Amino acid sequence: MIGDRIVLIRGKQARDSFASELGVHPQTLARYEKGERLPDSAFLEMLSKRHNVDPAWLLTGEGQPYSKQAAAQPVVPAPNTSPEFIECMDCHLTMVPMVEARLSAGTGSFEADAGIERRYAFRSDWINTKGQAASMVLMRVAGDSMEPQIFNDDVVLIDQSQTTPRAGGLFAIAVEDVVYIKMVDTLPGKIVLKSYNSSYAPLEIDARGDLADGIRIIGRAVWVGRELY
């Protein structure tokens, strides 16, 4: 039923924040999800637009949840990920959201929850030189395939406005339900994902086959941070 599909889209996101994002009361959302009440057209339109869901699938359950157009959209933006700003004595700070999704640097799984963990401060004059701050999120790395340049548990700043592969560029790229942090190169009809760690062979993906709709370049990595213990 349609309530089950709403639950699927919400995933691990808290019901209260999901309801707030879509402009309904949490109790109303709960009734939608339990099948006690049918959602109105305004709610369904908002849900479809905010989460890039195919309206036909949402209404009937037929076809795929995400259309080809939706597949081209970023897959990790969290609710209310617009940056916040802080004015201080001698600087202007941009607060960038850290999302709960993790980038696989190896064979690890992708944690697909896109909720916000917290926000981190960057000087606005610096971050604006790296790309579009409004499109940036922070993601944590899981795995060792990008060592020695990027280590497990490092934090990577991803600019989701930069999605055109460039030779030698470092990108977050989704393949099916796994999101990798890799160097991205292109060959005729193929996308090649390369690791810094020589123990990992390049991954070649046929961009013209059945997997093509499952490949999504999320954005380019513009900064890497690391905690020292």
Domain boundary among 25, 47, 71: 71
Cβ count near 18 (within 10 Å): 23
Region 28-57: what's the mean pLDDT?
81
| Number of domains the chain contains | 2
Residues 154 and 216 grouped into a single domain:
yes
Which of 49, 71, 93 corresponds to the end of one domain?
71
> Domain limits at 14?
2-71
83 pLDDT band, cuts 50/70/90, is low
Is residue 110 pLDDT above 60, yes or no?
no
- In this structure, what CATH number is given to the domain that contains residue 43? 1.10.260.40
Q: Indicate the SS3 state at residue 29.
A: helix
Q: Cβ contacts of residue 126 below 8 Å, gap of 6+?
A: none
Listed ranges 103-107, 111-115, 177-181; the one with the highest mean pLDDT: 177-181
59 and 88 belong to one structural domain: no
CA dihedral 31, 22, 115, 159 (to 10 degrees): 160
Is 92 found in the same domain as 18? no
110 and 213 part of one domain: yes
Residue 171's pLDDT is 92
- pTM for the structure as a whole: 0.59
In a domain, 77, yes or no: no
Q: Residue 189 is part of a domain; what is its CATH number?
A: 2.10.109.10
Last residue of a domain, one of 11, 42, 71: 71
pLDDT at 156 over 90: yes
pLDDT of residue 71: 40
Residue 217 has pLDDT above 90, yes or no: no
80 pLDDT higher than 50: no
The answer to whether residue 103 sits within a structural domain is: yes
Q: Examine residue 144 and state whether it is found in any structural domain, yes or no.
A: yes
Cα–Cα distances in Å, from 27 out to 33, 40, 42? 10, 15, 17
Neighbouring residues of 189: CB distance < 8 A, sequence distance ≥ 6: 206, 207, 208
